[in-house]
Structure 1
Amino acid sequence: MNRILILDDERWVRTSLRRVVELTGLPVQVVHECADGLSALDWLKQESVELILADIRMPIMDGLAFIEQLRQIGGRQDVVIISGYDDFSYAQTAMRFGAMDYLLKPVEPDDMRKCLGKWLERNAEAAEQAGMPKLDAQEQSTFERVARCVREGLPGPLALKDIAAQVHLNPSYLSQLFKRHTGKAFSDYVAEARLEEAKRLLSRTSLRISDISDRLGYADLAYFSSVFKKYTGLPPSEYRKRCPQPTRDICCREK
């Protein structure tokens, strides 16, 4: 069952969206609701979902800012923007920020069914192309627990045997599980998570690059810069300069 998070500041809208999702009859389940983007980001630090339905207009943190911050912390969940504004510019902006689709309120069951059906089909095709078999429910739950341990363990050292001990698994089994689910080795997954954390620290804090390198466990600044450039296409200093203006404004407010 694919897990969904609903994000809207109005309770009746969240209730309505939950019901519309249920009416599609598709293998999806709404597992949680949040009233703003900030509380959703906090919840996602401990939990995992595959899809997020997010309102474009909310207090504290709106849907677009939420997508931006989600990507900054390494979140790869797909996001569908829900809006009461039938304006192409809104849809265009949402797509530019990384939304996979754009639905208008009130969302009809047929529209939701088409949206979710397209999403499920795309995911199935991606898994087939990658040659990765589907995980059963128990394996999926296990992987989510491990991914959460990785997120919570950053920026410290993360060894496969230590994570395996935390979730009471054999390290060899855990290594195979990661390969089946992500198509990559555990060490590569951790390396990417570490670099996503580096991106977040560069864009949202004023820490010196050398401090970020040390914080993430890179003993040599030049090596960190080389790895970061290979991953993003930019050296850390240039990435920080090109940080999107909305994020830089957030940085300033947090200082």
Structure 2
Amino acid sequence: MKKILLVDDERWVRTALKWTINKLDLPLQVVHECQNGLEALDWIKMNEVDLILTDIRMPVMDGLALVKELSTLNGAYEVIVISVHDEFQFIQQAMRSGVTDYLLKPIEENEIKVCLEKWLHKKSNQGNVSKQLLAEKDNFPLSTIDRILDYIEKTPLDQITLKEAAESIHINPSYLSQLFKQQLNKKFVDYITELRIEESKRLLQNTTLRMSEIAERVGYSDLAYFSNNFKKIVGSSPSEYRNINSKTSDGTLNKR
């Protein structure tokens, strides 16, 4: 069974979508629902999901911002966006960002069935490739992770994604994700997040850059998500951290 996350600010829409998906009798299961992109990102950090169905127009963090953050964290996520006819320019923007497909409201049962069946067929083909790669893993050069770590070290944090890292050494992103966790005992996204938080701490302590500039430098396109992530990991907000740890003009640490 493939796991689906529904993201929409309207509860009745999520309920209708879940009911329709269950009715289709496909190997799919809606495992969680979120009402905005920020909530979805927080949930994804702690849970596995195969497909994300997200509305484009939502408060706090909309669907386009969610797609951008997912691409930054882990390019392997599959996303289908949902919108209305008069917002087609947003769908085009989402498609350029790498989403899998789109659905237009009001969503007809047959349309969502065709869309999901197409996605399942694509995943089946990808699965066959992954099995072949896993069968060959014992012969894969042990230097693979070293090459990836070297790539990460030399690449600006705002440009690092799983997809780009995998392409840098010509391997499948899914296989790299598995290999990374196997060799380093942590997810690729978690490793990159740790680097981003450490760099943001350095910038907060040693520069007067605005929060939005620091967020962008370390790879967060959404300031709210950066602040939320920072506080979860560090225990204080970026502004609180700066107030406590900023350096004075003579270079000494200003511990308040």
Counterpart mapping for 1:16-165 below 5 A: 16-74=16-74, 76-132=76-132
Query: C-alpha distance in 2, partners of 1:7/1:78?
Result: 13
Query: C-alpha distance in 2, partners of 1:49/1:9?
Result: 19
- Structure 2 unmatched ranges of 5 or more: 135-173, 207-215, 229-237, 240-256
Report if aligned partners of 1:72, 1:196 keep a CA contact under 8 Å in 2.
Answer: no
Report if aligned partners of 1:20, 1:108 keep a CA contact under 8 Å in 2.
Answer: no
Which range moves more in the overlay, 65-74 or 96-105? 65-74
Deviation sequence 1:48-98 (CA, Å, 0-9, x none): 211111010001111111122233333732111011244432211111223
Q: Give the partner amino acid of 2:125.
A: E
SS in 2 for 1:83: strand
Report if aligned partners of 2:9, 2:36 keep a CA contact under 8 Å in 1.
Answer: yes
Query: C-alpha distance in 2, partners of 1:251/1:43?
Result: 15
Deviation sequence 1:126-185 (CA, Å, 0-9, x none): 111233599xxxxxxxxxxxxxxxxxxxxxxxxxxxxxxxxxxxxxxxxxxx98x93677
Query: C-alpha distance in 1, partners of 2:121/2:29?
Result: 16
- Structure 1 unmatched ranges of 5 or more: 135-177, 212-238
Query: C-alpha distance in 1, partners of 2:63/2:116?
Result: 19
Query: C-alpha distance in 2, partners of 1:108/1:202?
Result: 47
The number of equivalent residue pairs is 182
Q: Give the partner amino acid of 1:128.
A: N
Q: Give the partner amino acid of 1:49.
A: V
Taking structure 2 as the reference length, the TM-score comes to: 0.58
Q: Which one of the candidate residues 194, 202, 217 is aligned to 1:207? A: 202
Query: C-alpha distance in 1, partners of 2:40/2:222?
Result: 18
Tell me the percent identity: 37
Does residue 186 (structure 1) correspond to residue 165 (structure 2)? The answer is: no
CA RMSD between the two structures? 3.7
Taking structure 1 as the reference length, the TM-score comes to: 0.58
Aligned counterpart, 2:10: 10
Deviation sequence 1:21-55 (CA, Å, 0-9, x none): 12222100111111111111222232221111101
Report if aligned partners of 2:6, 2:33 keep a CA contact under 8 Å in 1.
Answer: yes
Q: Give the partner amino acid of 2:28.
A: V
Q: Give the partner amino acid of 1:240.
A: R
